[in-house]
């Protein structure tokens, strides 16, 4: 496949942070040699899942060009993000890639009415030249998420429910008619009875608006429900990736296995096995600093080589696994 | 013998700004019992009154929150208290932390960031029982920490040096240092990842099995309830919608709200489309008439709009507040 066909192409990206003072201190590799891509012609939902501190958010900042990679590059529609220098070019890029954040109440200023915010967004992205036109643009975006301008006009964020504000936040992202939406934990702050509404909305956007979504979450159950492909992150690495049904129905990497086992089933039938004891990581920094596979300290199938060299990527059908157990297949 | 008996509790937030008074009926007619040696779950969405209920039963009632009616009675062995009429001094000296302790959601705000963990233990123990022999105290804390399966090094660490899961487990260790009869855990794992959540909940279960006390676990996550608690109470808009043993709630939920909560949960291995409920959780300053769920209920009848359904027993230990469900003669 040629590069121009890809919507988003992340190539061997590494981000390093320096911790500590000017002298001494240590390096923390937050994203470690990560590669994945999204096709341009077929919209899909790609999930990045992992524990907190696994590098999910750092990776999303890279994709939004909020952070430059230490090594490697991120291509959007064939263009390297680090070559975007001018303000106007950045604005063009922002029009195509839009974020949806975790807490909808922090997305909007509590002192401004949400409709004013949405109309400003439309004007700033040149989606409309006059105020009247922008009203139409905003209303269209809101209708895509099952609301209308009438419902939200003259309302402050606190006057809407969590689910509504999160839908408005998705509508805001849709105003510029993006090709890619980056949703960082979009449902974790939304009430249980409204959560599926937002999750279903992403499915609808993919199928009807042809928008690709990078869905960042730690909730494997919703990830399984909406996504096409999934990448499991651990301490900066993507340890396993592939079609979501393959990866979660039959995980290969020992970490994915542990992760899947730890998701509590919403039925009281497996109480005993779920309460079996597991090893927990002591502190985050310790695992980041580990040489070789970051999971070696907790892995039940650990071998000597795991503690010495970073495991290479192994291709197994549609799946990529970073583990020595599958090296020979 | 009950450990805690709550009868018809009503607790409202009353505010008055520029002569406009507003009453938020956060807990409105709640009755339930807690027994020794059980894990009891409280489930419900945000602003359904879960946290207010905990505040009131742990004796943290401060304006604008006010208890309007009802009773809260504890029976700690030979020692009984009436939580609504106890003096602050007695509450502090004999009840809080010694009989009823509390694990909060953000363990970061429990632990003092500029003091080592052992100092926080010292502060708490010293407030309730003067420490006379420091050596003995250290011994006791070490033993307690080890019994819960935490490494002794955590005592000499600062909170920021520990991972989120370890901090939460330290917070639980702090709450259990006096071996209280009741531990209230308010969303103890909400900010944690699945693997860490599992570890923390396992620790809570272990403690309960070890010391036979009662745990009141509040969380909105039904999957956690399914795997941890013995009995569950489902709250909706300040009232109890349903209360039953975990098995019954998940295998045969009777209230339409409970049914929705359980059926809408996504599961690994199943991708059928899940619907969400119409409407939004009600504003408790102006709750709907009759059954508070009627605006969102798929099976709404005329009677639901006008009459408040009573919480009636339908089976042993299973109570439901819904007009669809007839009271069983027990």
Q: Flag if B196 and A51 touch (Cβ within 8 Å).
A: yes
Q: CB neighbours of A319 closer than 8 A, spacing ≥ 6?
A: A240, A241, A242, A243, A246, A247, A252
Q: Does B315 touch chain A (CB under 8 A)?
A: no
Say yes or no to pLDDT of A2 above 70.
no
Measured between beta carbons, which residues in chain A are less than 8 angstroms from residue B197? Answer: 262, 264
Chain centroid to CA A314: 23
Q: Give the position of tokens 């905003």.
A: A138
- Let me know: does B88 contact B123? Beta carbons within 8 Å: no
Q: Is B272 on the interface with A (CB under 8 A)?
A: no
Q: Closest Cα to residue A78, out of A184, A1, A175?
A: A1
Which segments of A15-76 does DSSP mark as H helices, in order? 56-63
**How far is B86 from chain A, CA to nearest CA, in Å?**
36
Element housing A90 (H / E): helix A87-96
Test B262 with A280 for CB contact under 8 angstroms.
no
- The confidence score (pLDDT) of residue B246 equals 93
Q: Do A264 and B221 touch (CB under 8 A)?
A: yes
- Contact at CB, B274 and A196, closer than 8 angstroms: yes
- Judge: A274–B198 Cβ closer than 8 Å, yes or no: yes
d(CA A214, CA A181): 6
> Mean pLDDT across chain A, nearest whole number?
86
Distances (CA, A) of B6 to B71, B82, B84: 6, 10, 11
Which residues 237-266 of B are in CB contact (within 8 Å) with A? 246-247, 250-251, 260-262, 264-266
Average pLDDT over every residue of B261-278: 83
Is the CB of residue A128 less than 8 Å away from at least one CB of chain B? no
The ipTM of this complex is 0.77
Residue A46 predicted with pLDDT over 60: yes
Which of B153, B247, B278, B280 to probe by mutation at the A interface, max A CB count within 10 Å?
B280
Position A280 scores a pLDDT of 60
Half-sphere exposure of residue A26: CA atoms within 13 angstroms, side-chain side: 8
Whether residue B49 lies within 8 A of chain A, CB to CB, comes out as no
The model's pLDDT over B239-253, given as tens digits with 9 standing for 90+, comes to 999 999 999 999 999
- Hey, how many other C-beta atoms are within 10 angstroms of the C-beta on B246? 20
Q: At residue B330, does pLDDT exceed 80?
A: no
Q: Could you tell me the pLDDT band of residue A103, with boundaries at 50, 70 and 90? A: confident
Taking an 8 Å cut-off on Cβ atoms, the answer to whether A52 and B193 are in contact is yes
Token output for A125: 């992205």
Tell whether A265 lies on the interface with B, counting CB pairs under 8 A: yes
Confidence of residue A9 (pLDDT cuts 50, 70, 90): very high
Which of B:149-188 have CB within 8 Å of A?
151, 161-166
- Across the interface, of A193, A268, A283, the residue whose CB is closest to B277 is A193
Instruction: Determine the pLDDT at residue A1.
Output: 46
Task: Give which of B227, B281, B295, B296 to mutate to test A binding, by max A Cβ within 10 Å.
Answer: B227
Distance CA A241, CA A216 (A): 14
Q: Quick one: pLDDT at residue A293?
A: 87
CA–CA separation, B266 vs A269, rounded Å?
16
Dist CA A224 CA B271 (whole Å):
7
Average pLDDT (A297-314) is 87
Give the H/E segment covering residue A200. Answer: helix A192-204
- Give the residue, B197 or A279, on which the prediction is more confident: B197
B46:A266 CB<8 A: no
State the pLDDT at residue A278.
64
CA A71 to chain CA centroid, nearest Å: 20
Would you give the DSSP letter of residue A205?
I
Q: Which of B199, B205, B227 sits opposite A280 (nearest CB)?
A: B199
Which pLDDT belongs to residue B94? Answer: 85
* Per-residue pLDDT at A126 exceeds 90: no
CA distance A220 to A222: 6
The pLDDT of A214-231, averaged and rounded, is 91
pLDDT tens sequence across B102-148: 888 776 677 888 999 999 999 888 888 888 888 999 999 999 888 88
Q: Are B227 and A162 an interchain contact pair (Cβ–Cβ within 8 Å)?
A: no
pLDDT over 80 (residue A65): yes
How many residues are recorded in chain B? 330
A164 reaches B (C-beta below 8 A): yes
- What are B280-328's pLDDT values in tens digits? 778 888 889 999 999 989 999 999 999 999 999 988 889 999 998 876 5
Q: What is the CA radius of gyration of chain B?
A: 21
Testing the interface with A: which of B195, B207, B234 to mutate, by most A Cβ within 10 A?
B195
B273 in reach of chain A (CB within 8 A):
yes
| Residue A228 forms contact with B (CB below 8 Å) | no
pLDDT value at position A285? Answer: 52
How close B283 gets to chain A, by Cα (Å)?
10
Bridge partners (DSSP) of residue A72 are: none
When scoring A239, A280, A286 by the number of chain B Cβ atoms within 10 A, the one with the most, hence best to mutate, is A280
> Across the interface, do A264 and B226 touch by the CB < 8 Å criterion?
yes
- CA-wise closest residue to A198 among A190, A207, A208: A190
Distance from CA of A248 to the nearest CA of B (A): 7
Q: Residue B127 belongs to what H/E stretch?
A: helix B117-128
Q: Does A200 touch chain B (CB under 8 A)?
A: yes
Q: Is pLDDT at A4 greater than 60 in this prediction?
A: no
Q: Count the alpha carbons within 13 Å of B180 in the hemisphere toward its beta carbon.
A: 26
| Beta-carbon pairs below 8 A across chains A and B | 140
- Cα four-point dihedral sign A143, A149, A150, A151: positive
User: How is residue B237 written in tokens?
Assistant: 């808009």
User: Is residue B15 scored above 60 in pLDDT?
Assistant: yes
């Amino acid at each position: 496949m040629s590069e121009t066909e890809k919507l988003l192409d992340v190539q061997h990206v590494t981000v390093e942070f320096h911790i500590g003072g000017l002298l001494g201190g240590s390096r923390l590799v937050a994203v470690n040699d990560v590669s994945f891509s999204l096709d341009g012609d077929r919209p899909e939902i790609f999930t990045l899942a992992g524990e907190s501190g696994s590098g999910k958010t750092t990776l999303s900042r890279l994709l939004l060009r909020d952070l430059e990679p230490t090594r490697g590059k991120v291509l959007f529609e064939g263009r390297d993000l680090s070559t975007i220098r001018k303000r106007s070019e950045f604005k063009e890029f922002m029009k195509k890639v839009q974020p949806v954040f975790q807490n909808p109440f922090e997305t909007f200023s509590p002192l401004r009415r949400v409709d004013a915010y949405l109309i400003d967004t439309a004007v700033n992205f040149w989606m409309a030249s006059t105020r009247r036109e922008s009203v139409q643009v905003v209303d269209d975006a809101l209708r895509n998420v099952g609301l209308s301008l009438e419902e939200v006009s003259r309302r402050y964020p606190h006057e809407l429910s969590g689910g509504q504000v999160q839908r408005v936040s998705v509508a805001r992202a849709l105003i510029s008619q993006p090709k890619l939406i980056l949703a960082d934990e979009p449902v974790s702050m939304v009430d249980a009875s409204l959560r599926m509404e937002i999750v279903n909305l992403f499915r609808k956007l993919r199928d009807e608006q042809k928008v690709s979504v990078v869905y960042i979450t730690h909730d494997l159950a919703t990830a399984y429900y909406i996504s096409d492909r999934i990448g499991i992150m651990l301490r900066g690495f993507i340890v396993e990736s592939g079609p979501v049904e393959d990866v979660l129905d039959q995980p290969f990497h020992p970490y994915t296995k542990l992760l899947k086992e730890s998701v509590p089933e919403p039925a009281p039938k497996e109480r005993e096995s779920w309460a079996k004891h597991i090893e927990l990581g002591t502190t985050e920094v310790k695992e980041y600093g580990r040489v070789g596979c970051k999971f070696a300290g907790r892995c039940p199938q650990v071998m000597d080589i795991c503690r010495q060299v970073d495991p290479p990527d192994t291709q197994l059908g549609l799946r990529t696994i970073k583990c020595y157990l599958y090296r020979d297949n | 013998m009950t450990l805690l008996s709550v009868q018809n509790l009503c607790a409202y937030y009353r505010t008055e700004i520029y002569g406009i008074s507003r009453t938020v009926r956060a807990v409105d007619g709640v009755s339930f019992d807690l027994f020794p040696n059980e894990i009891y779950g409280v489930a419900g969405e945000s602003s359904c009154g879960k946290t207010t209920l905990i505040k009131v039963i742990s004796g943290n009632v401060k304006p604008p929150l006010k208890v309007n009616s009802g009773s809260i009675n504890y029976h700690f062995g030979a020692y009984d208290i009436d939580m609504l009429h106890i003096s602050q001094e007695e509450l502090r000296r004999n009840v809080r932390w010694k009989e009823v302790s509390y694990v909060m959601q953000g363990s970061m705000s429990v632990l003092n960031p500029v003091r080592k963990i052992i100092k926080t233990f010292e502060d708490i123990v010293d407030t309730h029982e003067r420490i006379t022999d420091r050596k003995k105290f250290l011994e006791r804390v070490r033993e307690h920490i080890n019994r819960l399966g935490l490494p002794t090094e955590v005592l000499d660490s600062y909170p920021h040096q520990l991972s989120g899961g370890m901090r939460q487990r330290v917070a639980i260790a702090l709450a259990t240092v006096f071996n209280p009869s009741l531990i209230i855990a308010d969303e103890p794992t909400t900010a944690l990842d699945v693997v860490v959540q599992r570890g923390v909940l396992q620790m809570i279960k272990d403690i309960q099995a070890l010391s036979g006390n009662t745990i009141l676990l509040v969380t909105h996550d039904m999957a956690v309830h399914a795997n941890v608690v013995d009995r569950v109470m489902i709250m909706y808009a300040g009232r109890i919608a349903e209360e039953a043993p975990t098995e019954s709630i998940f295998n045969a939920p009777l209230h339409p709200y409970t049914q929705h909560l359980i059926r809408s949960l996504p599961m690994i291995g199943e991708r059928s489309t899940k619907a969400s409920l119409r409407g939004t959780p009600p504003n408790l300053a102006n709750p709907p008439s009759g059954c508070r769920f009627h605006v969102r209920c798929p099976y709404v009848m005329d009677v639901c709009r006008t009459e408040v359904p009573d919480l009636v027993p339908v089976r042993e230990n299973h109570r439901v507040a819904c007009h669809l469900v007839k009271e069983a003669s027990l």
